[in-house]
Amino acid sequence: MSNIALRRAVRRYKRVYREIRMVALALKSPHHPVFAHMVVTRRCNLACTYCSEFDNFSKPVPIEEMNRRVDRLAALGTTAITLTGGETLLHPQLEDIIARIRSHGIIVLMITNGYLLTVERIERLNRAGLDRMQISIDNVQPDDVSKKSLKVLDQKLRWLAQYAEFPVHIHSVVGAGTTRPEDALTIQKRARELGLGSSAGIVHDPTGHIQAIDEKSKKTLEDIEGMSKPLFSFARHNPWRANLLRGQPNDWHCPAGGRHLYICEDGLVHYCMAQRGYPAIPLADYTQADIDREAKAPKSCAPYCTIFCVHRIALLDQIRDNPGKALVQLFPAPEPGQAKPPLPIRALTAAFSSAGPERSAPSRSTLLFRKAALRILNIH
């Protein structure tokens, strides 16, 4: 086994442990932010026409302020932080921010367009402790809508496949108006050739609502979902997206502002990138009361929302509070001979789901399993 393969294996086992712990904490308690997106700079080196989250002039948030925001999120109990922009690699001290997040034991991810990646920068991200990277690629050849193309970025992907000690996930936006939506399928196949992860999302308007997409784009999304191999993946088991593609609203409770926080470049807390302005309270002043209030507050934008990272968090809360309904929604009753939900899903549900009026008190064996799992995951 090569040195980099060994380092990847060690980091993978540590990361999986921390991610399982994050899920277990979310299932155990509804009173902390599970996920936060934090803008490190609003400036971007590109200008994709479907994006509303950038400008071409803002300065990076100073490192001292970034450290204060990281420390505050840690104090609120946040378990994962995604660094976003603009373009994250434009921040000259990005690696210091990543190291600060890791010093709190928080999982750290970043989103990038990849243009500024070099072998030296990848190695710096390795040393900083980056847990995951999402790189955005929308087409094979650049066009007027998006310059994030496979032609430009393929060499960067090869470097990541060779040198990155963290998982890399390629994400394509389908329905953004690119000339060939089927390019997303080519991108997914290239990702698999390189051993990288991949997914595709639906374009949304500035408020986070789904925009109408044509039949060719819908077929591309279906083909991409069909390529997913894991026993469980949110791409395959995502009832929210299936409804939206049929033009149907979703009946769910959005916990943004409590379980999911979006921290803009000015340090204000928002529900998400598409709902800037609510509640718009400075992170430095955000309290437990704010978290609990906003997590419970109804959001009128929820029925047609495409912000799937918030859907994932809502799913965890639903599994905790009403596991039967959640599992039926994700895994409809199997036909004879079909597999049951994955064992980890059933195990975590049994260990951490709340007893409700329709459920009996947990058995002694379940309580023992729960106690053992909490001890292993160092959850108090």
Cis omega (within 30 of 0) on the bond before 279? yes
pLDDT at residue number 338: 45
Phi first, then psi, for residue 193 (nearest 5°) are -60, -35
Give the per-residue SS3 of 231-268: CCCCCCCCHHHHHHHCCCCCCCCCCECCCEEEECCCCE
Which residues, in sequence order, are CB contacts of 281 under 8 Å at separation 6+?
A: 268, 269, 290
The CA-atom distances, in angstroms, between 127 and each of 4, 105, 106, 131 are 13, 15, 16, 11
- Helical (H) or strand (E) element with 5: helix 3-28
Class of domain 3-319 (CATH, top level):
alpha beta
Please state the pTM of the whole predicted model: 0.87
Dihedral sign for Cα atoms in the order 372, 74, 34, 200: negative
Rounded Cα gap, residues 347 and 340, in angstroms: 12
Question: 9-13, 84-88, 161-165, 304-308 — which is least confidently predicted?
Answer: 304-308
Q: What is the mean pLDDT of the chain?
A: 85
- The percent of residues in the chain predicted with pLDDT above 90, rounded, is 52
Is pLDDT of 125 > 90?
Answer: yes
Contact assessment for residue 117 and residue 141, using Cβ atoms and an 8 Å cutoff: no
Cis omega (within 30 of 0) on the bond before 247? no
Closest of 187, 188, 174 to residue 306, by C-alpha? 174
Is pLDDT of 353 > 60?
Answer: no
Task: Retrieve residue 17's tokens.
Answer: 């442990």
